[in-house]
Structure 1
């Protein structure tokens, strides 16, 4: 019954659910979709202005240790994960044990983050690697961006987007 409650809670209020299982996070923390916080969510620290998207997975432990427990009773590799401020983590990204992600970072969709990520970069790939600086991303985005005023009215937003893209 508890598993069903947690599943419903994670869908209805993912930020509240994250807090209830021990994830530490700062101001303006946003979740779109359902991330997977793993078996040690209390070892996850997330800064301010962070967005997690659908399917982001946090792994704080090395599951392969199960193969060694017969020989070494109680053996574990468990490490915290830290995310800085102003970070976007794309859909289905995987954050591995012990990783620290700096501030002003974009993690691309399906990226596997196996090492620490410095500030001010964009990371993508398997394994994740720096593909550009945050400043390069910003400069490119400003050249391609459209500006939308209608954020909450879906129909008005759609019309605005189609106009900006020259579809209507």
Structure 2
């Protein structure tokens, strides 16, 4: 069976994950308590993202306190992007209109309208600053035509060549 964002979303809903509308979810790594994860509308969760909803370190106390467990919810608000292989730890809220950079470890709440990245994740810039950077990069490319015609233009821009190398 091949997986896509729709089959993954259906699987996660069956596991109790609360998911809004218009999302793209490319990971099934929602830990052992997917029902503690809530995703708003219009979010992208890239491949390899991990949602950690409990503290596995309590294992070292099992002989002394057999049922000790620590849990925490994770909430991704509307219009967020979580980059590839990021890790979201328990008790985290990612504010609306935010971006988590690839490979980040989110240990603290992400304020609305921000871009965070790193280990641990820290604020890099505002979403407006990020938008300006993206617009400037896009305009520098000067791509013409539809997306399926961009390959040759991108090769020329980045490699200085046309066609296959």
Identify the TM-score tier after normalising by the shorter chain: 0.7 to 0.9
Q: 1:78 to 1:16 in 2, by over 3 A?
A: same
Partner of residue 22 from structure 2, selected from 3, 25, 28: 28
User: Corresponding residue for 1:123?
Assistant: 116
Contact 2:75/2:92 (<8 A) preserved? yes
Q: How does 1:8-157 map to 2 (within 5 A)?
A: 8=1, 11-12=3-4, 13-32=7-26, 34-145=27-138, 150-151=146-147, 156-157=149-150
Gaps of 5+ in 1: 1-7
Deviates more, 1:88-97 or 1:63-72: 63-72
Work out the CA distance in 2 between the residues paired with 1:25 and 1:118.
Answer: 20
Work out the CA distance in 2 between the residues paired with 1:64 and 1:148.
Answer: 53
Contact 2:12/2:28 (<8 A) preserved? no
Q: 1:160 to 1:17 in 2, by over 3 A?
A: farther
CA deviation after TM superposition for structure 1 residue 158, in Å: 2.7
SS at match of 1:28: coil
* Cα deviations by residue, 1:105-128 (Å, 9 ceiling, x for unpaired): 100011000011110100000000
CA deviation after TM superposition for structure 1 residue 136, in Å: 0.4
Work out the CA distance in 2 between the residues paired with 1:28 and 1:161.
Answer: 29
TM-score, normalised with respect to structure 1: 0.83
Contact 1:59/1:97 (<8 A) preserved? yes
Root mean square deviation, CA, Å: 2.1
Q: 1:67 to 1:51 in 2, by over 3 A?
A: same
Q: Runs of 4+ in structure 1 displaced over 6 angstroms?
A: 163-166
CA deviation after TM superposition for structure 1 residue 150, in Å: 3.7
Contact 1:150/1:160 (<8 A) preserved? no
Aligned length, in residue pairs: 156
